[in-house]
Structure 1
Amino acid sequence: MLGISSTTVVHSAGHSAMALWDSVARGHTGLQRNNLAWCELPCWIGQVPDVDEVRLPAHLQPWDCRNHRLAWMALQDTAFRRALSSAVAKHGAHRIGLVLGTSTSGIRDTELAYAQRREAGRWPADFDYRRTHAVDGLCRFSAEVLGLQGPMVVISTACSSSAKVFLTAQRWIDAGLIDAAVVGGVDSLCLSTLHGFDALQLLSQDICRPFDAARNGISIGEAAGFVLLERSPAAVCFAGGGESSDAWHMSTPHPEGEGAQAAMRMALAAAALAPQDIGYVNAHGTATPANDRSEAAALSAVFGPAGVPVSSTKGVTGHTLGAAGIVEAIVTVQALERQALPPTANWQTQDPALPLDLVTQPGAAKLRHAMSNNFGFGGSNCSLVFSLSE
């Protein structure tokens, strides 16, 4: 097992891991009605406060884009940088890997560049696609900020992107390629995802209500999060994960969640646990009719009629897409640390068609093991298990 040495996250409900837990533990949403000057859609969004005011240092200006500003904000966390400095002193900067996830990277700046090109007939002089939009730009920027020299990669598998980073990092460590890893994910608000999900009729005009009888779509958010993984003692460890690709449909999950079931069962096997050992599941829970129905069926198939306490925290942060995996992994770790069950924010009415033990109010619990689920377009599924240390 790999110890969770430190975490850092920025999100619509605040600028720290502590703010994240404070919000999800109370079911206090960070979502607001869309007030973006550059997007007219009637919807709710999870916008990170003050991201537009961030100014990168002069030597990092060529990397400037909304996505990297979010990463920069998260990477300023003092406790995280202190833990990473200790890891670098112990292992060396060349022995710490960087495994990150994103779905759209810095596409917002490319959208702006296209708009200027249409207006002026030429690309903006300062537009640098290689640094600001190319998917690998995220890891190269983060390595520059952190001074890391080990192997790096960015995973882009839609909404499972920054969940899969844990498994890649684990494989690298097991293979002896590295001794520790910074894993994480960043995704930012942009026209491409807002209009894309609206075109798919998945974007709700109401605030998202995961697993609610009246749910009718997602609220998109943005976030950045990072976790330091090491083979060293820690209060909570990454115990194992499972991945599957069911390829049922490009944008619709299998009705019975067959791929989700496979990912959860593989995660349990990797952690050497039985279903009854899991005390809490942080569900993917997007608030679309099809996703929540499919995930509920999958959870029922894996955990049986007795079920397991389940909640979705997307009612707090919104669906942060390529950053959802890392944000919700951090919430799951926090639930274990605090021995508490975060409620499903914005939920109002039970859906009798969903066989779930849904957490709708904050509550204490005796937890030893917990699971986090993230399922992406095309059936790219990932489940992670976290455990308290012995």
Structure 2
Amino acid sequence: MNDSASLQRSVRVAGRGVVSALGRGVAAQVEGLRAARPAPLALPDSHSLYHPAAPLEQPERLWRLLDAAVADALAEAGVTDADQADLALFLGTSSLDIPDAEARYAEACARDADTALALDKPGYGNLAEHLATRFGFAGPRYTYCTACSSAANALLQAAQRIAAGELERALVVGVEAYNKLSARGFEALMLASADGARPFDRDRNGLVLGEGVGAVLLEAGEARAGDLLLSGGANLCDTSSSTNSEPGAIAEVIRRALASADCEPAAIAAIKAHGTSTPSNDRAEGLALRQVFGDDPPPFSSFKPCLGHTLGACGTLELIALHGCLQAGVLPPAAGFQHIDPELGLAPLTKEQPVGAGAYLLDYFGFGGNNTALVVRYLA
């Protein structure tokens, strides 16, 4: 993948489908974000980290969530069966189909633990293959697994291919479903909060995991009022740490994204921050924003207190949520924020702010130092 993408022709969001903790559909995301409705902190007993087996319907649930979001995106875009035949698919995920594998493994252990295989159907392309079979996609298929930047990188690559004239349209899907591997991993790293996400707050103590699917149909075409255009973006892999983000690397990927969109920092109307609520990530992002924008950056917010951190899916989920909020004319607050971190000296929005046409920055930073920033333009 090129480290930055300068888009030669307009790439617009033509269709959206989303299922998250806030519900199904764009309107549900906007309503929940505006109400600062926190993501659930508790799970049913059957989903507990220490429950011996996931419920047997879990595999079907993953596919149902995936199919629902994709069907909604195709319907909003008016994609016909004939169009689907050659539709390119770009899928981003952190956990792949591990929820499915965990459930099958639990069933196999119940039958015969000695012969049970933890991964009986390995492969990075299982989710994309399922969608191709379910919807009849015969075009090229790509899967991105770059931690929390997965779906953002899928968006960046798809937009670059469309802008270059290699594709007319592409379906970009971000998917992340609850699984014990991710939940136990963040628990072991002591990065999971027991009392809610508070991005950029002095007393932030960890993230809240989320799940969901966001599907975006991108296409080349004439822009119209209400459209969101992907104007540019950049990806940069920082090798300084396997887990922590570094402010200088984040600042650099933001600068490259702005340059690719021919956009000066002062032209950014607002920022959809990554804002995970972990001490190190928010510190790095906050310091990076000051490096790029100075002591008074544009208004910024994080959606993760309401959506949860959907890991590899947050690229599409949060893009869809931002688009919906822009269409409603507002940027929602970062729920849970109360105290300014003296090291950062920055505060996200604590109440919704009116917004309109203009350029917006979206940040996505993942484990392994895979950092991505996107620049979009909203047409009122």
TM-score normalised per structure 1: 0.86
Q: Tell me the CA shift for residue 260 of structure 1.
A: 1.2
List per-residue Cα deviations over 1:9-59 (Å, max 9, x = no partner): 000011111100111122122323233424247xxxxxxxxxx8989xxxx
* Partner in structure 1 of residue 147 of structure 2: 158
Structure 1 residues 126 and 232, CA, compared in 2 at 3 Å: closer, same or farther?
Answer: farther
Aligned positions of 1:276-355 closer than 5 A: 276-355=266-345
Aligned positions of 1:182-221 closer than 5 A: 182-221=171-210
Name which of 69, 77, 87 aligns with 1:83: 77
Q: Tell me the CA shift for residue 101 of structure 1.
A: 0.3
- Residue 383 of structure 1: SS of its match in structure 2? strand
Q: Tell me the CA shift for residue 285 of structure 1.
A: 0.5
Contact 1:336 1:370 in 2 (8 A): no
Q: Do residues 120 (structure 1) and 120 (structure 2) align?
A: no
Q: Tell me the CA shift for residue 211 of structure 1.
A: 1.2
Q: Do residues 12 (structure 1) and 6 (structure 2) align?
A: no
Aligned positions of 1:236-275 closer than 5 A: 236-254=228-246, 257-275=247-265
List per-residue Cα deviations over 1:268-287 (Å, max 9, x = no partner): 11111000111111111000
In the alignment, the residues of structure 1 paired with residue 378 and residue 47 of structure 2 have an alpha-carbon distance, to the nearest angstrom, of 44
Contact 2:201 2:337 in 1 (8 A): yes
Q: Do residues 99 (structure 1) and 90 (structure 2) align?
A: yes
List per-residue Cα deviations over 1:248-290 (Å, max 9, x = no partner): 1111111xx1221121111111111000111111111000011
In the alignment, the residues of structure 1 paired with residue 115 and residue 353 of structure 2 have an alpha-carbon distance, to the nearest angstrom, of 52
* Partner in structure 2 of residue 229 of structure 1: 218
Contact 1:336 1:369 in 2 (8 A): no
Q: Tell me the CA shift for residue 184 of structure 1.
A: 1.7
* Partner in structure 1 of residue 65 of structure 2: 70
Q: Tell me the CA shift for residue 142 of structure 1.
A: 1.6
Q: Tell me the CA shift for residue 232 of structure 1.
A: 1.2
Contact 2:12 2:219 in 1 (8 A): yes
* Partner in structure 2 of residue 34 of structure 1: 43
> Structure 2 stretches of 5 or more lacking a match?
1-9
In the alignment, the residues of structure 2 paired with residue 362 and residue 173 of structure 1 have an alpha-carbon distance, to the nearest angstrom, of 34
Contact 2:149 2:364 in 1 (8 A): yes
Structure 1 residues 37 and 54, CA, compared in 2 at 3 Å: closer, same or farther?
Answer: closer
Q: Tell me the CA shift for residue 66 of structure 1.
A: 4.2
- Residue 207 of structure 1: SS of its match in structure 2? coil
Name which of 369, 374, 380 aligns with 2:364: 374
Q: Tell me the CA shift for residue 127 of structure 1.
A: 9.8
In the alignment, the residues of structure 2 paired with residue 282 and residue 110 of structure 1 have an alpha-carbon distance, to the nearest angstrom, of 33
Cα RMSD for the two superposed structures? 2.5
Contact 1:268 1:385 in 2 (8 A): yes
Instruction: Give the letter for the 2:68 counterpart.
Output: M
Contact 2:108 2:117 in 1 (8 A): no
Instruction: Name whichever of 329-338 and 368-377 sits farther off.
Output: 329-338
Instruction: Name whichever of 274-283 and 363-372 sits farther off.
Output: 363-372
* Partner in structure 1 of residue 378 of structure 2: 388
Q: Do residues 24 (structure 1) and 33 (structure 2) align?
A: yes
Structure 1 residues 126 and 193, CA, compared in 2 at 3 Å: closer, same or farther?
Answer: closer
TM-score normalised per structure 2: 0.88
In the alignment, the residues of structure 1 paired with residue 366 and residue 354 of structure 2 have an alpha-carbon distance, to the nearest angstrom, of 30
Q: Tell me the CA shift for residue 125 of structure 1.
A: 10
Contact 2:159 2:230 in 1 (8 A): no
Contact 1:159 1:374 in 2 (8 A): yes
Q: Tell me the CA shift for residue 73 of structure 1.
A: 2.4
Q: Tell me the CA shift for residue 174 of structure 1.
A: 4.0
In the alignment, the residues of structure 2 paired with residue 251 and residue 65 of structure 1 have an alpha-carbon distance, to the nearest angstrom, of 32
In the alignment, the residues of structure 2 paired with residue 174 and residue 340 of structure 1 have an alpha-carbon distance, to the nearest angstrom, of 29
- Residue 75 of structure 1: SS of its match in structure 2? helix
Instruction: Give the letter for the 1:171 counterpart.
Output: Q
Contact 1:25 1:362 in 2 (8 A): yes
4+ runs deviating over 4 angstroms: 52-55, 122-129
Contact 2:105 2:118 in 1 (8 A): no
* Partner in structure 2 of residue 45 of structure 1: none
Contact 2:272 2:363 in 1 (8 A): yes
Q: Tell me the CA shift for residue 139 of structure 1.
A: 1.2
List per-residue Cα deviations over 1:336-389 (Å, max 9, x = no partner): 323311100122222222232511111212441111111000110011111024
Q: Tell me the CA shift for residue 93 of structure 1.
A: 3.6
- Residue 46 of structure 2: SS of its match in structure 1? coil
In the alignment, the residues of structure 1 paired with residue 76 and residue 216 of structure 2 have an alpha-carbon distance, to the nearest angstrom, of 13
